[in-house]
Amino acid sequence: MRRLLTTALACAALLALAPAAAAETHLTNPPPGANDFGCKPSAAHPEPVVLVHGLGATMGENWGYMAPILKARGYCVFALTYGADPLFPFAGGVIPIEQSAEELGVFVDRVLASTGAAKVDLVGHSEGTFMPQWWLKFLGGAAKTDDYVAMTPLYEGTKLARADLLRDALAPFGLSQPVIDAVSRVCASCPQFLHGSETVEKLKQGGKAAPGVDYTTILTRYDQLVIPYTSGLLPPPATNKIVQRECPNDISEHAAVAFDPVVARLILNALDPASAKKPSCLGLPPLAPPPA
């Protein structure tokens, strides 16, 4: 009973990787500034930006802060709500990531066709850093992507609530797969995020980064859902940015990074290095003690 309770708690925590959402279809209620399919990229910003939300969120919730910032700086901005199960239309990203990756691919093709661009830039958050890896590596997405900016990525998966240990402990008794199947009926993508899952291991084959894509990862030491937060580190030539190295008193955690001016500046710098500026740390709370 205790183990079953632990499993339930772990699954509930995984579903909290992003806030709950109101019922939406995949293109309704975009964030401000997004999904103007008449937008034509400028010479300064030739790649349209596609925003990819986290688990349980919708595009409107995840990108209400960042989308208008990008639009105001002259980018063509696009977003979608992907991976919604008809049984749970209020939460995106809950179907298997392989299916969500196909949705992303169809959407990117529409963006490229409407804008006339050769490639897109991706900006992802949480699951929006993990699911697109399938599209990039196995569905031809790398050839259509220039820059990939990933907030709170989890390329090594997460050890949240040590659900990975429970999965492995149940395996010798033939109980691991039944538990995974039970969880998958509610959130098919959740077991895929766990450290050591078949999906994580497959995505790591040949290197975590997709060839030909310029990666910038943005991590926070206060991430309470991607555990450890270093799961999102990539080897060179990728650029790794830890929020607290930019501003030691920035206490943004997993969800808050999507609404953080420091992170916004890091995203803008990654998309346009020629115009990069150091993030301002003004207005942040007093210097916080280092996390345990």
User: Taking the model in full, what pTM does it have?
Assistant: 0.86
How confident is the model over 60-107, as pLDDT tens digits?
999 999 999 999 999 999 999 999 888 777 789 899 999 999 999 999
In a domain, 69, yes or no: yes
In a domain, 286, yes or no: no
How confident is the model over 36-56, as pLDDT tens digits?
999 999 999 999 999 999 998
First-last CA distance in the chain? 31
Are the beta carbons of 42 and 74 closer than 8 angstroms?
A: yes
In a domain, 192, yes or no: yes
Mean pLDDT across 4-10 = 39
Token output for 97: 């990531």
Are the beta carbons of 156 and 195 closer than 8 angstroms?
A: yes
In a domain, 112, yes or no: yes
C-alpha dist (Å) from residue 226 to 50, 64, 152: 23, 22, 7
Distance CA 246, CA 98 (A): 35
How confident is the model over 241-288, as pLDDT tens digits?
999 999 999 999 999 999 999 999 999 999 999 999 999 998 787 765
In a domain, 291, yes or no: no
Confidence check: pLDDT of 6 > 60: no
**Tally of structural domains, the chain:** 1
CATH code of the domain covering residue 252: 3.40.50.1820
* Residue 89 confidence (pLDDT): 73
In a domain, 68, yes or no: yes
* DSSP at 259: G
Are the beta carbons of 111 and 48 closer than 8 angstroms?
A: yes
* Residue 233 confidence (pLDDT): 97
Token output for 24: 């939406």
For residue 227, give its domain range: 2-275
In a domain, 64, yes or no: yes
In a domain, 204, yes or no: yes
Are the beta carbons of 105 and 99 closer than 8 angstroms?
A: no
Are the beta carbons of 26 and 80 closer than 8 angstroms?
A: yes
